[in-house]
Structure 1
Amino acid sequence: MPRNRSNVSRIDSPYMNQYDAHVERQRKRKRLLKRRLILFGAIVVISFFSLFTYHLSQRELYAEKKAQYELLQQQKQELITEESALTEEIKLLEDESYVLRIAKTNYFFTEEGEIVFKLLEEAPAY
């Protein structure tokens, strides 16, 4: 296919040379502007992706820490109840009659003249 040729001939004048130089500068400016915009867009996309992945990792870390915190809170509550039970037992063990009653029931401790009968803890058969 033959090249399209214009029937208008070009005049070689200083104005046309200046105009051609101006058009070439404009074309270079547009090309540089496109490159800058592409570079800026790439930087924005990379920054957004980095921030997004950082946000997701922080959310995951937060969920793990929250689960660990709830577990520790539960353990703390269990330890508080155990502490109160042990404190109550300490108070009971300070009472001599309570200690003697435990010794008699669990360890068959007897005073002089007492007889111990061990009963089976079964339901009656009647």
Structure 2
Amino acid sequence: MSALHKNNVTKLQSSYVSALEQKEKKAGKRRRIVMVRFTFLSVLLMALSAAFLYVLHSQSVNIEAKMRDQRKLEQRLESLEKQQKRLEEEIKKLHDDDYIAELARKKYFLSKQGEIIFTVPEK
């Protein structure tokens, strides 16, 4: 029913009313500008946050991979150090004539004069 009635009220054309209308228009424009700025800044902040999180995630994945590689290399270093110690001991033993003679008997079945070698099969 209110749609059928026309508004018969006329606006006053005074300086106060025109100043108030201009003030309302400026306030509306300011609100729109503030909303546009807020929207732009929030989108920019979200984009920066996404980029930051992506970089953070990729760096953590790289760090984990490097740590795994480091553990593998440390294990390999440990085994190589053990092998080096064993080989150094072998070198020291090879300077001993008795050890060389014993080694020749075991590996190459060499014997002393009058000595007979029997090989026993391993289980």
Q: Same fold (TM over 0.5)?
A: yes
Q: How does 1:38-77 map to 2 (within 5 A)?
A: 38-77=39-78
User: What is aligned with 2:32?
Assistant: 31
Preserved CA contact (<8 Å) 1:92 1:98: yes
Q: Deviations over 1:56-97 (max 9, x none)?
A: 111111110110010001001001110110011011001011
User: What is aligned with 1:98?
Assistant: 99
Gaps of 5+ in 1: none
For residue 30 of structure 1, what is the amino acid of its counterpart? R
Q: Tell me how many residue pairs correspond in the alignment.
A: 122
Preserved CA contact (<8 Å) 2:109 2:117: no
Secondary structure of the corresponding residue to residue 26 of structure 1: helix
**Counterpart-to-counterpart distance in 2, 1:4 and 1:30:** 32
Q: What is the deviation of 1:15?
A: 2.1
TM score, norm. by length of structure 1: 0.86
Secondary structure of the corresponding residue to residue 9 of structure 1: coil
Change (3 A) 1:61 1:4: farther
User: What is aligned with 1:121?
Assistant: 121
Q: What is the deviation of 1:121?
A: 2.0
Change (3 A) 1:61 1:122: closer
Preserved CA contact (<8 Å) 1:108 1:116: no
How big is the alpha-carbon RMSD for the aligned residues of Structure 1 and Structure 2?
1.9
Is residue 77 of structure 2 the alignment partner of residue 83 of structure 1? no
Q: What is the deviation of 1:53?
A: 1.1
Gaps of 5+ in 2: none
Preserved CA contact (<8 Å) 2:93 2:99: yes
**Counterpart-to-counterpart distance in 1, 2:81 and 2:75:** 10
Change (3 A) 1:104 1:4: farther
Secondary structure of the corresponding residue to residue 121 of structure 1: coil
Q: What is the deviation of 1:41?
A: 0.5
